[in-house]
Structure 1
Amino acid sequence: MLTLQPLSPADLAFVIQSEQHPDNQRYVGQWTVEQYRNALDDPNYQCFLIIADGNPVGHCILYDLQNPDNSVLLKRIVIQTKGQGYGRIALENIMAYVFGVLKANRLWLDVRTFNERAEKLYQSIGFQYEGTQRKASHVDQEYVDLKLYGMLREEYNQRTGQAG
């Protein structure tokens, strides 16, 4: 059983450690504790701890919740415990929340071009490639491209068999 639990200040040590872990550091942005505290107080953000069997296995950040176009950005997803299928299940839960609870029209994300594992997961779950932002992310002292992926409410409803 995997669930999303609202992130609290008490969870920030786990979150920062997960982002800075060598398995994750090149693939995700790095925020300070202060940036997370600001996001926790900002209604435009929603941050979740990803819990499996009562233990944190990752976290995610949703952004632009007040966007008048109902387009939500999955700003970050980090899975600390790899190889258990948690990323796929977490994405399913995030999509259910974004489209079911928030009633968003669109969920989108970006992925660094060298993160092929994540890109394959996004494609396999139904995200559509929407374009590339050239040299939009600074990693390891160089600029790399970001690929943009999105899913529309009707695509989500189609894949889950839900009515419009």
Structure 2
Amino acid sequence: MSLRAATPADFAFIRGLAGHPDYAPFITDEDETALAAYLTDPEARLYIWDENGTAAGFALYCEIGHPTGRVELRRLALARTGGGRGLAFVTALTDHAFGPLNAARVWLDASGENTRAAKVYDQAGYRLEGTLRAHWWRPALGRSVDLLLYGILRDEWQARRG
């Protein structure tokens, strides 16, 4: 499994995952124009998680090159979950942020109702840094949910790598 740069040919896959009924409450779907903008934005990277030549997930990094060294892992999803795939995916994404993207800190947010994601982020070494109560409007649910903020610092990541 590896990360590769997304192309416009991947947009249907990305939108299919983001719009899947299981993910719609947790992931924002963006149209092709918005996705294309990430491909040319020097502060963003849109990747496909490739599993033996097949798209198995996607991830969007933002804030690359920020003066603080922070990198946001803005969006991520797997086509198939279970069996430790989520932890392996988040670990690989975190390694990529601290490696090639040279992050000093990686942060992300998640729906307060996405307990599976919260468990994976905790297992990957992220710390819950705050909760924005009833903050995030989710059209798929027709209501606002809590937004959980997670982060991991480079020294914490390095300590986990042993």
**Post-superposition offset of 1:92:** 1.5
Gaps (5+ residues) in structure 2? none
| Contact 1:3/1:90, CA 8 A, preserved across alignment | no
RMSD of aligned alpha carbons: 1.0
- TM-score, length basis structure 1: 0.93
| Contact 2:87/2:123, CA 8 A, preserved across alignment | no
Distance in 2, matches of 1:13 and 1:100, equals 29
Distance in 1, matches of 2:21 and 2:84, equals 19
Give, as a single letter, the amino acid of the residue that structure 2 aligns with 1:142: R
Gaps (5+ residues) in structure 1? none
Distance in 1, matches of 2:88 and 2:59, equals 13
Distance in 1, matches of 2:86 and 2:42, equals 25
Give, as a single letter, the amino acid of the residue that structure 2 aligns with 1:146: L
Identity of aligned residues (%): 31
Distance in 2, matches of 1:127 and 1:96, equals 12
Q: How does 1:21-32 map to 2 (within 5 A)?
A: 21-32=20-31
Instruction: Give the corresponding residue for 1:35.
Output: 34
Give, as a single letter, the amino acid of the residue that structure 2 aligns with 1:98: A
Runs (4 or more) in structure 1 with deviation over 3 Å come to none
| Contact 1:73/1:108, CA 8 A, preserved across alignment | yes
- TM-score, length basis structure 2: 0.95
Instruction: Give the corresponding residue for 2:161.
Output: 160
Question: Which range moved further: 34-43 or 85-94?
Answer: 85-94
